Structure formats: C-alpha cells, structure tokens
Structure 1
C-alpha cells in the first residue's frame, strides 16, 4: 500500500495557501497530474519529490512518510485478522485513517498489540495446562486436597452424634489438608509466575524489529566506533583473522579455538560459535566458513573494545523484557561487526562500482552472501545513502525468521509470505540467484532478489541447514543494479502479480491462494463454499 505522500503534499500546500496550478507550474508538471499525486493515485519519488519538497520548504523525509508506511503495514496486518472478516472496510480506509487521524491509527495498533499479547498469554497457559506434567500433578494434588477437606467438612456437618475424639480427628485432618492446599497453591502460583516472566512481551523479537525500523537500521555511534576499530585492526597487521586472533589474545587474553568440543555447558546448543567467559575461549565450529569466523572474531573484538558505546545505545532503548534487552545487545554486536568488516564509505563505493552485485562484493570483502545483503540494508547515512532495500530470510518450511521492511512494501512480521515470492522459489535452485519483478495489487512494483544460503555440515550424520535470503527494492532503483540489466523495466506486463500474504492479498483470481482474503460483510467465501449448493436436495429439478 502506498504511503500517504499525496495527502502530506496537499496539506503542506494548503497550509502555505498555494494553489494546485501554482505548485504544478513551479515543479514542472500539469495540475491534473499533481491532483492525482495529492489523491495518492500516483507514485512520486526521485527528482520530482525533491522539487516538491523544495517548493513547499519542508524536509523530504517529512514527505516520504516512512513512519506512516510502517503504521500502514501494522494496520494491514490488523485488518487481516480473521476476527475482523465480517467488517465492511473500504479499500482506502487504512490509508485515510493514517493520513487524517494518525493518533487514532496508532491507538488501534497499540490496542491490537495488547490484544495479541493477551491472546499469546492465554495460548501459553493453555499449552501448559495440556502438556506440562508438573502443572498437571499440582492440579491433581489440589483437587485431591479439596476433596478431602470437603469430605471431612460434610461428615462434621451431617453426623451430629460424633464422639469428641472422632470430631477432633476430622478437624485435625482438615487442618492438615488446608495447610497442604495452601502450600500447593503457593507452588502453583510460583510455577505460573516463572513461566509468565519469560512471556511478558508478546514478542521480544517484534520489539527489536520496531526498534530497528525506528532507527532505520542505522546507528551512527556504532559506525563511528567501527571506523576507529577498523583502523586499530589494520594498524596491527592488516584486517583479517590472523590480526583479530592476535589482538583478542593480547588485549583481552581470549584464546580462539577452531574445531573440537564446544567449551562451557557441554553440548547444549553449541551452534557454529560460542564464547565462554570463564575459560576466555572463543570456540568456532570446524565446519564454519572463513567468512563466519572472521565476522565472529570482529564481533567479539568490537563488543569487548566498544562495550561503552553499546551500553550508551542500550540505555536509550525502551524495551520491556530481559529477553528483548538480550536480543538488542546481540543485534548491536552484529551491527558493529558488520560495520567493522564493511567500512561504510568503502563498502558503499564498492557497491556502487559493482552495481550492487552481491557475489562480487562478497569476494571483495571475503564475506558471506547473507552478510553482504544485510549490510546493504544499513546504508542509510544522511547524504550518503545507498539503494533502500528490504530484507527477508526464510527457513525451508517457509517461516520468516528475520526481516527488515522497506517503506511502502508490506512485509509480514511472521508466519509465511506470498507463496509466489522469489524467497521461496530460490529453494528450487539452490545457490543460484533468483531475480523477480513483481507487482502488488496497489500498483507498486519491486525487484525481488533471492538466493539460498547453507550452513556446512560438521559430520556425515548432521543435516545441512538451509535458508533463503531476499532483498527487495523499488523498481525506480533497479536500473542502478546489475540485476536490472536485460529487463524491460518500462513494460509491466511481465511482472509477477503478487501480494504480501494470502490474508492480506486482494487478488481474487490467484490460483496460488491458500487462504481467503478479507471480505466485506455479507460476502460469500468462495473457497469455503460447498460444491453442492445448500438448497440442493435429491429429486430437485435440474
């Protein structure tokens, strides 16, 4: 869905008391075309958007509406909730709400998030009730104690001729059972509290996503720190594993071990790398690639040397859970490592020179495909921007495991995206880049570029782990990339018609649809309609 740039242009123009004809003449377009722009029926970008911002004397970022695009994406996901199927939403309702009543749109988004959080907690407790053996045992003991207390109380109440000794025996039994019941209730409450502490947020990962979007996935303080660290590494003997290994040992006493058994807590979730603070050992799996080793060495060196910079960034975050804080620190460490391995200005110049050829860049910087793709997303420095990219990663089951959205492009936060996207098609041709020009139902056109990445197996019995990563950019920027060569970008007839996901897609004629889309109140859901009409009976006339 388009961001409400047109509404912002219209509001800014009216506040300056400039007519449509005057503004159209100054920016070099017809009044009728400006009218289409202001009604959000035409995309506007590049030089034209800059001329409009100049004539209206406002910052171009105030027109592009990146914050509004994120809010629009949130509303699209909310309105696709099956609970809201029966409501007769108008086609432009979300966009108009964001443009005219942004506070109300934000309120809806926050209320829905609170609802999702409550639903998550309810599902969590339901799962625990069904599958937690300790919880089942505690509940059984509570029920047994209540039954014993009730039986004793009924005997005391219904049998008037009990002897004093027998009455005392029943009273003592009730006392014991009630004390036991009190202890059981305390244990039960503690069991739930311990579980809910880890589930206080509906999704810590969602909190991190929101944080990265708010910062445009760019952290100037980390870029500055990375520049100094890179110079320090190069002065120590040139950038690479040898220098990083020596600096870690000389400055921090860290010993780098490749292969063998992971240090620390046995073999629980060793992954491809692990840092064990008690032994001061950075362990790297023997099957890990040189790109992974270099990146993790740079990450540990950055986290240890620039810990104060990371701490200052962390202090500015408003995160609600310990898990979110842990994920945020991990994300900042990875960002810092990326900025060390790919110095901003040097990497941007190389990307422009190579026309954003990811394979050429990975060879130039001795990095992995995913590392290069992720760094491309962070080229958002004011006055020194690269092409704006969105990023997605999917596992073989189609579940989205990492994402950074692009303003104007609706990327699902979780679950599955449109089955026609290149991110899924890449699994059919492993290790081969797949490019795809797509068009959404609102007319937005994008280049999708996907490729599989695979973690090498450490042994014969270990199943290789594969994923697919995808970059997405607006078609306006495709001619700046090597991937646009040979494509007729002016002809949209060959575009693949797609949607964000089945629930959010309005293409009723899509043969790949797996779920029904949102429909107006009273509409008949074709996918769930029986082949035989409801009124059919044996003997009915044809």
Structure 2
C-alpha cells in the first residue's frame, strides 16, 4: 500500500494558502497532474518531489512518506492479527486514516505494540507455569480449597434441618479450608512478586526442561534409533563393554583407553572420562565403574551413528539459544544411550516382573542406580507405560542438579527441596536405598525412594563426592513395587508431613523449617525469633516500694 504523499502535499499547500494552479506552475507541471498527485492517483518522486518541496519551503523528508509507510505497514500487521478477526477494513480506509488522522493512527499503533508486548509477557509467565510444577500445583490447590469452601457453604445454606453439631463441622471445614487458601494465595503472590523483581528470561536449562516436559520425557524417534543401534551391537556380539569397544574401533577408528590419570589436553567437567576427537580416543579413569564405561561408550556410539537425528530434535523452536541446544544435545544423546542399554519392552517387562526392584534391574543390565532410575522415568509410551515416576538429583550441598517432574507432585526444579525429603537422608547412608511415605499439605501422598552414590577416588588428594538420587510416585502404585512391602499404606498418621520447599510451604508450625514462608501481608514471623519479644512490657514499679 503506497504512502499517502498526495494527501500530505495538499495539507502543506493549503497551510501556506497556495492554489493548485500556482504550485503547479511553480513546479513546472499542469494543474490537472498536480490534482492527480494530491489525490494519490499518481506517484511522485525524484526531481519533481524536490521541486515541490522547495516551492513549499519544507524538507523533502516531510513529503517522502517514509514515516507514513512504516505506520501503514505496522497497521497492516495489526489488521492481520487474529484478535482483529471479523473486522473488515478496506485498504483505502487505512490509507485515509494515516493521511487524514495521523495522530489517531499513531495512537492505534502504540496500543498494538503495547498489546504485543503484554502478550509476550503473558506467554513468558505461561511458560513459567508450564515448566514450574510448583506454581501450577499451587494454583490447583487454591482451586481445590475454593471448591471445598463453596460446597460447605452451599450445604449450610440449602439444608435447613442440619443439627448444631453438623453445622459446626461444616463451619470448621470452611475455617480450615479458608486458612489454607489464605496461606497458599500469599505464598503464590509473594513468589510472583519476587520473580518479577529478580528473575530474568528463561535460562537455557529451563528451555531444555520445557522441551523434555513438553514431550512427556518420551521421544519415539529416538527410541526407534536406540532399538536399531541395539540390534546392530548385538549382531556384533553380546551387549557390553567388549562389543562396544570393538564396534567403535571397526566403524570409527576410535580407541578406548583406561588409565590412572585424565587424558592429556582434557578440559571437560568430568575427570572420570572424556573423548579426544582429534586423537580418536575415549578414555576412562581406572576408578570409573563398569556401568559408567558401558553407558558412556553407548552414548558415544549413539552420537556417532545418530547425530543427525539428535540434531533434528535439538533444532526445536523451544530452544532459542546455542547454549540451550548444546545442553539439549547432551541430554538427548544420553536418552538414546539409556534406551539402548535398556530396550523399552524388555526393560518394562523385567521391571514389572521384579516389582521395580532397582537392585535386581541394575544387576540384570550391568547398570547404576541412577541409570535405572532415569530409564524408569522415560517409560511413557502410549498404551505401554510403566509406573509414572518423578526424578530428582542433588549434590552434596543439597542443591538440586537434575529433575523430571511428575504431574501433581510439587517437585522443586532449582535450589533446595524440603529438608525432610529422603533425598537428603540418603546422603548419610551411601549405597542404601531408603524409602519414605510422605504427605503434602493438600493431603496428597507419595512414596519417595532415595539413594546416594559416592564417586570413586582416583587418588589420596581427590575430594570425596557423592550425589543423591530420588524417585517419587503416587502412593497408589506402592503395592506394585517391592518397596511398598511392609509399609502401613492405609495409615496416613504415619506419613512424614512435607512440603515442596520452605519458601512455598504453608506448614507454619513445622519445626524443621529453614526459611520463612513467602508473605506479603506482614504477618509476624515464627522463625528465629528473639527469646524476649521486642514489645515485652517493663514491670510497673512497686507502689509500696516507691512510698517507703
């Protein structure tokens, strides 16, 4: 759509009190031609536009229409937005709006840009809610409490013959639900207020989380690639370190070295293994476990044989930065390796046969606890699913370093979780699987399994290090697992009362609380108070003593 140069030219001519004939004669054109230009029926530019601008005593930019053209383009974008669907605007009307009411057109443009920015902010918060199960769960809890209050109120109002005792019970329910609702709302409001002030846009790790969560941690094409790779390995020999080493040497001229020290020139984060692409050498410390060697050799083979397929998954619109794509590539390569070490149907059958006994599965597949736990989380194939598990991993400082959420369960994705969770107790009993039945403030009950694994020390000077891994599932599935045996699952009084994190937990009287709950209403804190209240009244002087 051409910019309304003619309309603007006519406005400038009239402002100066010039007739069409006078301006046409001065510019060296006929009055009829100038009339066509002013009605935007003829284009004007070049030397003629310069002469007209000179006669009007203005800069040529005032008549070029560049600003108007940009405004027309922006308003055309506005009209194409789905929110304007059904509103028909003829091109000529838009042209007239820019020409005759430019300030109104600019106001519409600014409103539209504000709408676009607001929509982007809403989308950012929506992504936050989708990728942060804590916030989503809080909203569901609020809705649940509102429903309970409303239901109890309707019963009191609509049932006239309730006894006094029944009325008191319903009033107690309303009071309890209202208190919980108030605490949840305060925690949610404070969390968002804090996030707006301190949180930047989604981090690369969060983008990768969004990708994995969006796919329910199940990637069919990668599963197919893993099945193909497993068949290729087994065609060369028994699945294991020896056959993997042989295939890497035959197909890619890659050698495997096991040594006492890190390979020369190694700059990776892990000191236990690495790959030198220039020398075509994959190396391991001698202290590296067989399970780690088998898994990492499988991952290397997966990247060499199916790198293009992994790349296709990495070039996803949800991954907006090179860092996010790099992190996702590593994660998806590990996914292919896990699916290769643990073939889907065979592994699911073994897990069900052995009631998800992770130690038995570790032995059957020469794998580690964490590798088995990872694979259990990915058993989400439609019509062939295992028990739905959530997954957490923590470092020695208790900081969460990896998580896979479980719908309905408030799993923190960063920072620290509730200090009562078994993932922290497991650190004090390395190598032992601990179990725990927990109950959240909303009454939801889960079975938690935790185990800490120390890393092998390569030398006397190496620092001891362990990571703790936790699996979580709804308590309804506990009877399908060996870990549910001997537990009194029908007695909620024996559950460990927990929350998601101290900051988002509404258990005000929890004696294990490490941080104050988020609160924006100025309630009196109940953590680390002085022994003597600051408003403690001084004793009145003894009147008798004053008179003596």
What is the TM-score of this pair, normalised by structure 1?
Answer: 0.64
Residue 471 of structure 2 corresponds to which residue in structure 1? 471
Distance 2:348 2:268 in 1: 39
Looking at CA atoms only, which structure, 1 or 2, has the larger radius of gyration? 2
**Matched residue, 1:159:** none
Instruction: Output the CA distance in 2 between the equivalents of 1:343 and 1:293.
Output: 18
Counterparts of 2:214 and 2:183, CA distance in 1: 20
Change (3 A) 1:312 1:94: farther
Task: Tell me the equivalent position of 1:181.
Answer: none
User: Quick check: 1:263–1:281 contact (8 Å CA) kept in 2?
Assistant: no
Q: 1:98-247 maps to which residues of 2 (within 5 A)?
A: 116-118=198-200, 203-247=203-247
Question: For residue 73 of structure 1, what is the aligned residue in structure 2?
Answer: 134
1:480 shift after superposition = 0.3
Question: What's the counterpart of residue 455 of structure 1?
Answer: 455
Residue of structure 2 equivalent to 1:368: 368
Whole-Å separation in 1 of the counterparts to 2:432 and 2:541: 58
Q: Closer, same or farther in 2 for the Cα pair 1:421/1:333, shift >3 Å?
A: same
Structure 1: distance between partners of 2:264 and 2:138: 42
How far off its partner does 1:341 sit? 0.2
Aligned to 1:180: none
What's the counterpart of residue 312 of structure 1?
312
Mapped partners of 2:266, 2:412: distance in 1: 37
d(CA) in 1 for partners of 2:541 and 2:371? 67
Alpha-carbon distance in 1 for matches of 2:325, 2:268: 22
Q: Distance in 1 between matches of 2:194 and 2:137?
A: 12
Question: What is the number of residues matched between the two proteins?
Answer: 376
Give the Cα–Cα distance (whole angstroms) in 2 for the partners of residues 368 and 226 of structure 1: 19
What SS does structure 1 have at the residue aligned with 2:295? Answer: helix
Segments of structure 2 that go 5 or more residues without pairing to the other structure are 1-127, 141-177, 543-548
Structure 2 CA distance for aligned equivalents of residues 412 and 443 of structure 1: 18
The residue that corresponds to 1:25 in the other structure is none
Alignment of 1:80-95 (within 5 A): 91-92=180-181
Distance 2:283 2:419 in 1: 38
Matched, 1:262 2:323: no
Cα deviation 1:30-80 (Å, max 9, x = unaligned): xxxxxxxxxxxxxxxxxxxxxxxxxxxxxxxxxxxxx9875652356899x
Secondary structure class of the residue paired with 2:487: coil
Q: Determine whether 1:290 maps to 2:290.
A: yes
Distance 1:74 1:256, change over 3 A: same
Distance 1:541 1:70 in 2: 62
| Matched residue, 2:357 | 357
Report the CA distance shift for 1:69/1:489 in structure 2 as closer, same or farther (over 3 A): farther
Please give the alpha-carbon distance, in whole angstroms, between the structure 1 residues aligned to 2:198 and 2:383.
Answer: 39
> If the length of structure 2 is used for normalisation, what is the TM-score?
0.64
**d(CA) in 2 for partners of 1:208 and 1:489?**
36
Q: CA deviation at 1:431?
A: 1.2
CA-CA distance at 1:540 after TM superposition: 4.0
Per-residue CA deviations over 1:469-527 (Å, capped at 9, x if unaligned) read: 11000001110000001112111111111111111111122111111223462421122
Residue in structure 2 matched with residue 252 of structure 1 by the alignment: 252
Instruction: Give secondary structure in 2 for the equivalent of 1:279.
Output: coil
1:77 touches 1:412 (CA, 8 Å); kept in 2? no
Question: Does 1:324 pair with 2:328?
Answer: no
* Contact 1:69-1:408 at 8 Å conserved across structures: no
Cα deviation digits, residues 193-226 of structure 1 (max 9, x gap): xxxxxxxx65322221222111111111110000
Determine the C-alpha separation between the residues in 2 that align with 1:520 and 1:492.
Answer: 32
* Alignment match, 1:422: 422
Does residue 1:495 correspond to 2:495, yes or no? yes
Distance 1:387 1:541, change over 3 A: farther
Corresponding residue of 2:400: 400
SS at match of 1:346: helix
Question: Secondary structure, in 3 states, of the residue corresponding to 2:423?
Answer: helix
Match of 2:34 in 1: none
Give yes or no for contact 1:116–1:202 (8 Å, CA) kept in 2. no
Counterpart CA distance in 1 for 2:541 and 2:474 is 56
Query: Does the 8 A contact of 1:264 with 1:276 survive in 2?
Result: no
Change in Cα spacing, 1:115 to 1:518, as seen in structure 2 (3 Å) is: closer
Look up the match of 2:523. Answer: 523
What's the counterpart of residue 485 of structure 1?
485
Tell me the distance in 1 between the aligned counterparts of 2:393 and 2:294: 22
State the Cα deviation string for residues 103-122 of structure 1 (Å, max 9, x = none).
xx9xx99998675444xxxx
Partner residue, 1:196: none
Q: What CA RMSD, in Å, does the superposition of the two structures yield over aligned residues?
A: 3.0
**Distance in 2 between residues matched to 1:328 and 1:75, nearest whole Å:** 24
Q: Is the 8 A contact 1:502 1:517 kept in 2?
A: yes
**Contact 2:131–2:209 (8 Å) recurs in 1:** no
CA contact (8 A) 1:438 1:495 kept: yes
Distance apart, 1:267 and its partner CA: 6.0
Counterpart mapping for 1:337-348 below 5 A = 337-348=337-348
CA distance in 2, matches of 1:92, 1:224: 47
Between the aligned partners of 2:280 and 2:196, the Cα distance in structure 1 is 42
Q: What displacement does 1:281 show?
A: 0.8
- Would you say the 8 A contact 1:69–1:407 is kept in 2? no
CA spacing shift, 1:115–1:277, aligned 2, 3 Å: farther
Q: Distance in 1 between matches of 2:335 and 2:240?
A: 18
1:509 matched residue in structure 2: 509
Structure 2 vs 1, CA of residues 268 and 218 (structure 1 numbering), >3 Å: closer, same or farther? closer
